[in-house]
Amino acid sequence: MLPTHRPRRLRQSAPVRRLMRESHIVPSQLVLPLFVREGIAEAQPIGSMPGQSQHTIDSLRRTAAEAAEAGVGGVMLFGIPEVRDAVGSAADDPEGILNVATTAVQEEVGDALVVQTDLCLDEFTDHGHCGVLTPSGAVDNDATNERYAAMGLAQARAGSQLLGLSGMMDGQVQVVREALDAEGFHDTIILAYSAKYAGAFYGPFREAVDSQLKGDRRTYQMDPPNGREGVREALLDVEEGADIVMVKPGLPYLDVLAEVKQAVDVPVWAYQVSGEYAMVEAAAANGWIDRRATIMDSLTAFARAGADAVLTYWATEAAAWLREEL
């Protein structure tokens, strides 16, 4: 007896498969994270992230321009200062590396893509935590939010179009939104890293930002077994004024991404973090996987789960591949 239903009809050729695709990703949905370091004369390769570097202002400009040329939707900037202290003073210094770099990139490509900045203190503190510490060594939530407000204003003044609030402090969105509005920055976009998990995929990033962290961030980043809590965090951030919410890391938390997408009425982004990047690059370097196919499989997974945009270190390269397929 012959089958009545033949799903293979819709897979029979490349043109048919393209026509029948349920999920799509385009270059403008990709955001490229970039690192800029104070006090270096030339870009420094990041050993655990092949192909990525700590940039000078000049190399940052060039790399951002390449991303814009490829059609990437945005760049997310992370700063690495020469001098750190307990409260991350360089974070809101107008002459601090991240703020100077933001102005430079905005001048270079601000008309072509969205210039974005990471709003967190971990790169700027001498203890490596994302906030201000109490005398006992705990992260002080409310004192940290005061620093975030100052940092947000500094970034907005420097020309950042979108602030990525990644510190996971309670109430951070509301505090930063109120500070921005009070100074007239009504159009500055807030991306809340709402469901940011304290998992094991951040190791290469710690090298990228020369992290000073001792211990862990489990008292403020989320516990990996908790999915519903990620939805709760996203709903709270939307209530406080977030324009976009984020799930981070990416592939290990696609279930949370899909649940958040169903729960909120704002765009939902995902961050394909350094550990995900490093694993694919290492396996590809050993000839164990097809590098390009694996990268595109992973980006497609984000789109299928509901991501409206993806932060990925492959953004410029993947954008070029996607344009080849048009």
The whole-number pLDDT of residue 215 equals 81
Catalytic option among 55, 61, 177, 196? 196
Query: Taking a C-beta distance cutoff of 8 angstroms, is the pair 302, 257 a contact?
Result: yes
pLDDT, residue 206, reads 86
3-state secondary structure of 186: coil
Q: Max Cα separation, the chain?
A: 77
Identify whether 8 is part of a domain: no
**Is 96 a domain residue?**
yes
Q: What's the pLDDT at 213?
A: 87
pTM of the model as a whole: 0.96
Within-domain flag for 6: no
Q: What angle do CA 239, 274, 71 make, to 5 degrees?
A: 75
Q: Per-residue pLDDT for the chain (326 aa), expressed as one digit of tens each? A: 899 999 999 999 999 999 999 999 999 999 999 999 999 999 999 999 999 999 999 999 999 999 999 999 999 999 999 999 999 999 999 999 999 999 999 999 999 999 999 999 999 999 999 999 999 999 999 999 999 999 999 999 999 999 999 999 999 999 999 999 999 999 999 999 999 999 899 989 888 988 898 888 999 999 999 999 999 999 999 999 999 999 999 999 999 999 999 999 999 999 999 999 999 999 999 999 999 999 999 999 999 999 999 999 999 999 999 999 87
Q: What is the pLDDT of residue 211?
A: 87
pLDDT at 99: 98
Please check whether residue 148 is in contact with residue 176, taking contact to mean a CB–CB distance below 8 angstroms: yes
Domain for residue 4, yes or no? Answer: no
Question: Residue 248 catalytic?
Answer: yes
Task: Give the model's pLDDT for residue 326.
Answer: 72
Tokens of 11: 């897979």
- The answer to whether residue 238 sits within a structural domain is yes
CA dihedral (193, 302, 73, 180) in degrees, to 10, reads -20
Structure tokens at 176: 């930063």
Q: Which domain holds residue 30?
A: 24-324
Tell whether 1 is covered by a domain: no
| Residue 283 vs residues 46, 238, 287, 289: alpha-carbon distances, Å | 17, 38, 6, 6
pLDDT at residue number 217: 92
Whole-angstrom distance, CA of residue 308 vs CA of residue 310: 7
Domain count, the chain: 1
Structural domain contains residue 45: yes
Query: Which is nearest to 203 in space by CA: 38, 47, 309, 311?
Result: 47
Q: Return the CATH number at 68.
A: 3.20.20.70
Catalytic residue among 125, 248, 307, 313: 248
80 within some domain: yes
Is position 196 annotated as part of the catalytic site? yes
Amino acid of residue 207: E
Name the nearest CA neighbour of 211 among 68, 94, 46, 325: 46
